[in-house]
Chain A
Amino acid sequence: MRVDASNLLNRLGRQDFSYKEFEDRFTELELWPMLEALLKDPRLLELDGAAASGAAAPAPESLPSAQTQAAEFVPTPPRPAAPPAPEPVATDSISALFRRYEGPNAAAAPAPPAPAGSGQDVRAMLRHLSELGSRGEI
């Protein structure tokens, strides 16, 4: 790191910094056919049921709240409108992951209603990614 940058960090009392707040619109995310192709690849479903090894996954109450974890990880101020935390993945599935995004927001999307099935799932996930982006959480 250059001396001027580290001096600046010292003056700010920070250990490190990252650039923040870039807006990504849903339509931009749709630009990458690679992501769409991957979302349709059935081999990604192997992640389903690949539960934690060992006897039993820890009980949900033994986990710190997802909010706490996220705050630790990406230090953004808490947002009252944050969507509910995801289920523990041991019981999750990729299709459930997609279904999570079919919330009330889906209706507000600019796109025309997509046909049911995986195409819709892909769009829903991309839309969710876009929403995360617009909140600066990506």
Chain B
Amino acid sequence: MALIVCHSPKGGTGNTFLAAHMALGLAEAGADVTVLSMAAHDTLPFHFALPPSTTLSALHASSEDSVVVSGIDLRHARTAPKDPDFIPMLKDLGYFQTGRDRTLILDVPSCERNLARRLVNHACAHLCALDTAPETLALLPQMFDEAGKGGLSRTSFVINRLDDTRRLARHNAAFVRELMGPRLIGRIRLDESVPESIAMLQTLARYAPSSAALADVRRLVDIVLPALDTDISIWSGAKSSSYAA
């Protein structure tokens, strides 16, 4: 079992995209994956080629009611931020241990910073999607401050929506890369086929098998996968990567 928390200090950076594609990639590699959306208005189903009429059921709902795509169980936990029993429940379900046999991916909206921080303490990994907007970078000091040294140990960063034809995006990406060192485990390029696939009600892999974003996210899955079985942070594990060579 493994708990992966996807949370970013800034909204719109692709946290849900990352949670969804981690789920798809890990499931493809043989993991038994559940994704739990904690957003009040969740967009998670769209990354699984589901139509807007889809509603996800709660984590505790019976399995007959659940939405399962490519073997991935999609659930919501909208009340979790206010539910004191939520974290104990995850513990009882066994998700605070490592192992890829059952993996729970949490899509925690950016505004739920307290919940995210508490969850990260128990998680196998925290994936933090950043885009290259200056506002996103500007939130990093506050994020670091709130997390503290211990709280950052499980955090791995991903640059998403990278458009390196843009000067500022390039500069900001370089800044993040230098700042994070091996904690930056990858980057995902901005790719028009991401929204196009959603509009087509198809998965990205089906709609655009040669999508740059898909290739990037698959590379990330290869980095995350071994970390599910260990207690060592993704970024310090064998496959962690550095741009700085």
Complex contact A34–B154 (CB within 8 A): no
* Residues B164 and A29 in contact, CB atoms below 8 Å apart: no
State in angstroms the CA–CA spacing of A68 and B98 once bound together.
28
Of A47, A73, A82, A128, which one neighbours B219 at CB under 8 angstroms?
A73
By the criterion CB–CB under 8 Å, are A82 and B140 in contact?
no
Whether, in the assembled complex, A107 has its beta carbon less than 8 Å from a beta carbon of chain B, the answer is: no
Interchain CB contact under 8 A, A129 and B232: no
Contact B171 A28 (CB under 8 A): yes
Chain A 14-29 interface residues, beta-carbon cutoff 8 Å to B: 14-19, 22, 24, 28-29
Provide the residues of chain A in CB contact with B242, threshold 8 Å. Answer: 66, 69-70, 73, 85-86
Whether B189 is near chain A, meaning CB under 8 Å from some CB there, is yes
A43 touches B235 (CB 8 A): no
Q: Min CB distance, B48 to chain A, in Å?
A: 20
- Chain B residues contacting A1 (CB-CB under 8 Å) are 192-193, 196, 208, 210-211
Checking B164, B214, B236 against A57 with a beta-carbon cut-off of 8 angstroms, the contacting residue is B236
Interface size (A, Cβ < 8 Å)? Answer: 60
Determine if A9 and B210 form an interchain contact, defined as CB atoms under 8 angstroms apart. Answer: yes
Within 49-88 of A, Cβ neighbours of B (below 8 Å) are at 49-55, 57-58, 62-64, 66-67, 69-70, 72-74, 82-83, 85-86, 88
Contact A133/B170 with A38-B140, A44-B144, A72-B241 known, Cβ cut-off 8 Å:
yes
Does A66 contact B245, Cβ atoms closer than 8 Å? yes
- B215 near A19 with CB under 8 A, answer no
Contacts of B142 in A (CB 8 A): 43
Question: Can you give 16 contacting A-B residue pairs, CB < 8 Å?
Answer: A24-B167, A24-B171, A35-B137, A35-B172, A52-B153, A52-B236, A58-B232, A66-B242, A69-B242, A70-B244, A73-B219, A88-B236, A89-B235, A94-B179, A97-B179, A128-B178
